[in-house]
């Protein structure tokens, strides 16, 4: 498919742009921005918080540095988010005895309650988003995304064969 219908009803030819990852990611992000904002407002969270809380939920005791690398945010941005979540009673920071410079992050009871609500809402959104996509295609889509993210997140990152970027 190299064409898609925009909100006016006009069909627009994308040609090779339909296979350009950066173009398609930016377009999809722009098209879903309002829905993401609505979701964050319903959960009373700032941008980035859903990912931060989810990673902590799945990796209790993760360090702030590893969290920053996982969610692709600067350490200073993660510190600001973590401080805000801690002040809201959603997570706790504890110094790691082996390295006093590191904080281990875990969710509080309130944090787990927010994650449950968050997972329900994001799962519902994902189900709506993929309603017209065959289950096998959805699985392939996420498997390819995981491969791309893992390639960029690995030491030396940048994706591509051997982790070398263009």
**Spatial separation of the C-alpha atoms in residues 101 and 85, rounded to whole Å:** 20
Q: Is residue 146 part of a domain?
A: yes
Range of the domain at 129: 45-153
Question: What pLDDT score was predicted for residue 55?
Answer: 96
Q: Is residue 28 part of a domain?
A: no
Q: Is residue 85 part of a domain?
A: yes
> pLDDT digits over 120-137, tens only?
999 999 999 999 999 999
Q: Is residue 53 part of a domain?
A: yes
> pLDDT digits over 106-119, tens only?
999 999 999 999 99
Indicate the average pLDDT of the chain: 88
Q: Is residue 149 part of a domain?
A: yes
Q: What is the CATH number of the domain that holds 86?
A: 1.10.10.10
Hey, what are 66's tokens?
């590893």
Q: Is residue 10 part of a domain?
A: no
- Return the beta strands (E) in the chain as ranges: 3-5, 11-13, 62-63, 91-96, 99-107
Q: Taking the model in full, what pTM does it have?
A: 0.79
Q: Is residue 115 part of a domain?
A: yes
Q: Considering its fold, how many domains does the chain have in total?
A: 1
Q: Is residue 3 part of a domain?
A: no
> pLDDT digits over 136-160, tens only?
999 999 999 999 988 887 877 765 5
Per DSSP, the chain holds a count of helices (H) and strands (E) of 6, 5
3-state secondary structure 79-118: HHHHHHHHHCCCEEEEEECCEEEEEEEEECHHHHHHHHHH
């Amino acid at each position: 498919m190299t064409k898609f219908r925009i909100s006016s009803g006009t069909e627009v030819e994308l040609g090779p742009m339909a296979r350009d990852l950066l173009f398609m990611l930016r377009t999809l992000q722009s098209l879903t921005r309002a829905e993401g904002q609505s979701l964050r407002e319903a959960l009373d969270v700032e941008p980035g918080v859903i990912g931060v809380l989810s990673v902590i939920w799945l990796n209790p005791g993760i360090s702030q540095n590893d969290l920053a690398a996982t969610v692709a945010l600067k350490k200073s941005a993660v510190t600001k988010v973590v401080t805000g979540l801690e002040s809201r009673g959603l997570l706790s920071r504890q110094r790691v005895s082996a390295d006093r410079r590191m904080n281990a992050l875990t969710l509080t009871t309130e944090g787990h309650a927010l994650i449950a609500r968050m997972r329900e809402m994001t799962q519902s959104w994902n189900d709506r988003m993929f309603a017209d996509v065959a289950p096998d295609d959805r699985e392939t889509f996420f498997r390819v995304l995981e491969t791309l993210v893992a390639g960029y997140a690995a030491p030396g990152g940048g994706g591509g064969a051997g982790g070398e970027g263009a």
